[in-house]
Amino acid sequence: MRCESKTRAGTRCKAMALRTGKRCNFHADPERHRALAAAGGRRRSIYRAENLKHFAPATSAAELAAVVGQTLCDVRNGSLDAKTGNAVGALASCLLSVIKVDSLETRMAAVEKFIKEERNREPRRAH
């Protein structure tokens, strides 16, 4: 049997009624439903910035690894919600790409400088 309550939109509730009554689990006890929904919202949003370990902005892959490793632990032990953990992961991925390019540019500049200095040191001999 279907629940006989109406939804907020005014249509009939499509959930199955409990065996013990004419209403579904949520409509049979709206107060309990509200309490469960609020608890779910709290659980998902529990995260206090002051409870998380502070890191200076990462400038190397090693520093970034420390932040990502700590975030992984925070999500696993429930001190950080998965959504925020996901955002940290995505941003860490972007930052890692930037760090890689920056590292490559720095190394290329050093190689180019070395080559230029080598060329200037020994002038080419004419045949």
* Residue from 1, 2, 3, 94 binding Zn ion (CB under 5 A): 3
The reply to whether 18 sits near Zn ion by the rule CB under 5 A is no
Closer to Zn ion by Cβ: residue 29 or 81: 29
Closer to Zn ion by Cβ: residue 22 or 83: 22
Closer to Zn ion by Cβ: residue 3 or 95: 3
The reply to whether 28 sits near Zn ion by the rule CB under 5 A is no
The reply to whether 67 sits near Zn ion by the rule CB under 5 A is no
DSSP string, the chain: -B---B-TTSSBP-SBPPTTSSS-HHHH-HHHHHHHHHHHHHHHH---GGGSPP-PPP-SHHHHHHHHHHHHHHHHHTSS-HHHHHHHHHHHHHHHHHHHHHHHHHHHHHHHHHHHHHHHHSPPPP-
Asked if residue 81 lies in contact with residue 45, where contact means CB atoms within 8 angstroms, the answer is yes
The reply to whether 13 sits near Zn ion by the rule CB under 5 A is yes
The reply to whether 27 sits near Zn ion by the rule CB under 5 A is yes
Distance of alpha carbon 105 from alpha carbon 119, whole angstroms: 21
The reply to whether 24 sits near Zn ion by the rule CB under 5 A is yes
Question: If binding means CB under 5 A, how many residues of this protein chain bind Zn ion?
Answer: 6
Tell me the closest approach of the beta carbon of residue 41 to Zn ion, in angstroms.
20
Residues found near Zn ion in the complex (CB under 5 A): 3, 5, 13, 15, 24, 27
